[in-house]
Amino acid sequence: MTNIGNYEEKYKTFDWSQAREILGYKEGDFLNIGYYCSDRICEQGKGSKLALIWEGMDGTVKKYTFDDIRILSNTYAEYLKSIGIEKGDRVCLFMDKIPDLYISFLGILKLGAIAQPLFSAFGPESLVTRLENAETKVVLTTKKHAFKLRKIKDDLPALEKVVIVEGEPKKMEDYEVLFSLESADKVDKLESFAADLESPSVLHYTSGTTGQPKGALHVHSSIFSQHVTSKWVLDLKEDDVYWCTADPGWVTGTSYGIIGPWSLGVTQCVLDAGFTAERWYKFIADHKVTVWYSAPTAIRMLMKQGKEVVKKFDMSSLRHLCSVGEPLNAEAVIWSEEAYGLPFHDTFWQTETGAMVITNYPGMEIKPGSMGKPFPGIQATVLDLKTHEPVTEPGKVGLIALKPGWPSMFRAYWKKKDIYDSKFIKGWYVCGDRASIDKDGYYWFVGRDDDVINTGGHLVGPFEIESALLEHPAVAESAAVGKPDEINMEVVKAFVSLKPGNEPSDELELSIMNFIRKKLSPLAMPQEIEFVSSLPKTRSGKIMRRVLRAKEWGEEIGDTSTLVDDE
């Protein structure tokens, strides 16, 4: 029996007040995500139940009960208070997927501060833009990553402290402090900040076409959406062992790698190690994972390793699989059914939506290649590309749009009100993706409506890459676009014109690639650089990425009447 029961019935009868009841929240209660994911589960008598099974690169396994998570997150909250963190302050989490990441996330929320997770592979330039915009007061990090902050500290006047929670640098800077959860005095009793429904909780940065990344601000009531979608889409139940492969540097890793499962009191596993098919399958077999939430790029990597390797492991514990982040091609759904005896269920959502909005449900017929149908309580449509009126014809492509009002909708882009406002058209929130709806109400993803590059399920903004490219001494002009890739769907390709005195060469290509990898991240690093004498521009001088991208994808270029030249 699935948790959701009959989807069509639920869609007709559900409203968000029911999500409050399902979570057990009553009007006037305080609503703190940190409390709901730890203390409350203990109050339900599940303090000794396993909350986290963590496995590190070298195979070390650590286990934490809900009571451990409660006490340790209290300990973090108390420590942060002692160093001056108050309600509303931004505290950045910048570390690998170590237990401290999951525990301190809850500690920050318990204090009423705002958690700002950033992907640990980010380089100094990716960090500085996000920390500067958020005016982050404290960064929690590890010795391994602290050096990147040293490079940019002078550019961050609001940053008061860098707390190193693992490892000890030989020489400390005056703004650096050490904190060890192991040796800290444990805090059994803590009064969590009495958040209300609209109190800010999490700030996740996401990339757009223009400008630097934007911080999507969420509030504590997002837990209503995350709780009920975890229950109905991930189908999480009392005895499940759940594995979300996403890193909490990205929204999937917090909404469904922390908040959703823990608000349900479900045991979850974390693997803090690189990918190999064997390692992943062994992890599933060792910990008897039952529900698995992953991404199409990972599934394509597993497909590449073939079905034979699957047979070497006992993965009979698995019972439900979901995927997010990129289009899940029909072949992947069919392959997983053959390889694991279970299909992956595609789920569509965004940093901005905070929780799943269009998905496939356990028990509902899957049309392989489709994203499924809107979640109960979500009114969705596709808008005509020109008129922005809802499309009524089945199969006609339009912009995915949602009626505002679901609990986990972002409340702002941090200090970017105009951009936030521009996402709403005629009373709809417009996601920035194109899709069509078939006669049965299933959504089919077509592509993004902007120039953002989706590489391996991670969004990378072309502007951020282009700005960084221009800092390379040999680069005069640049454009970054996504080019097709068998595994990652897209990878970054850069077009570069050189300053006089520089000649294209393999060495220069490598030097530019490394420059971006170190400054931004391995994700943003162009996999290919094409040296050109000039870039296609509009009459007003704007670089036409559209033309470059179309060439890469073998598509029609479209209207070029505004171009200066056809390079």
User: Residue 371 CB, nearest distance to ligand PRX (Å)?
Assistant: 5
Q: Which is nearer to ligand PRX, 65 or 245 (CB)?
A: 245
Report in angstroms how near the CB of residue 84 gets to ligand PRX at its nearest. 32
Q: Which is nearer to ligand PRX, 4 or 459 (CB)?
A: 459
- Name the minimum Å distance from CB 480 to ligand PRX: 17
Neighbours of 390 (CB within 10 A): 15
* Nearest distance from C-beta of residue 523 to ligand PRX, angstroms: 11
Instruction: Tell me whether residue 85 or residue 127 sits nearer to ligand PRX (CB atom).
Output: 127
- Tell the smallest beta-carbon distance from residue 295 to ligand PRX (Å): 8
Closer of 254 and 290 to ligand PRX (Cβ): 254
* H or E stretch at 271: strand 267-272
Answer yes or no: are the C-beta atoms of 509 and 529 closer than 8 Å.
yes
Question: Residue 388 burial by CB count (10 A; 0-12/13-18/19+): exposed, middle or buried?
Answer: middle
Task: In whole angstroms, give the CA distance from residue 327 to residue 287.
Answer: 29
Which is nearer to ligand PRX, 99 or 354 (by Cβ)? 354
Per DSSP, the residues of 118-168 read --TT--HHHHHHHHHHHT-SEEEE-HHHHHHHHHHGGG-TT--EEEE-SS-
Position with the least CB separation from ligand PRX: 351
Nearer residue to ligand PRX within complex by CB, 192 or 436 = 436
Gyration radius of the chain over CA positions: 23
Give the span between the Cα atoms of 467 and 169, in whole angstroms: 32
Write down the least CB distance from residue 43 to ligand PRX, Å. 31
Shortest Å distance, C-beta 52 to ligand PRX: 22
Query: Where along the sequence are the contacts to ligand PRX (CB under 6 A)?
Result: 206, 250-252, 324-328, 346-351, 371, 431-433, 445, 448, 454, 459
**Pairwise CA distance, residues 36 & 29, whole Å:** 11
Question: What is the Cα–Cα distance from 499 to 508, expressed in whole angstroms?
Answer: 12
- Could you say which DSSP state residue 256 is in? I
> CA nearest 60: which of 93, 95, 99, 94?
99
- Residue placing its CB nearer to ligand PRX in the complex, 122 or 349: 349
Secondary structure of the chain: what % helix, strand, coil (to 5)? 30, 25, 45
Nearer to ligand PRX, 30 or 444 (CB): 444
Shortest Å distance, C-beta 252 to ligand PRX: 5
Q: Could you tell me the smallest distance in angstroms from the CB atom of residue 454 to ligand PRX?
A: 6
d(CA 353, CA 407): 9
Asked if 74 and 188 touch (Cβ cutoff 8 Å), the reply is yes
CB neighbours of 240 closer than 8 A, spacing ≥ 6?
A: 266, 267, 290, 291
Nearer to ligand PRX, 279 or 388 (CB): 388
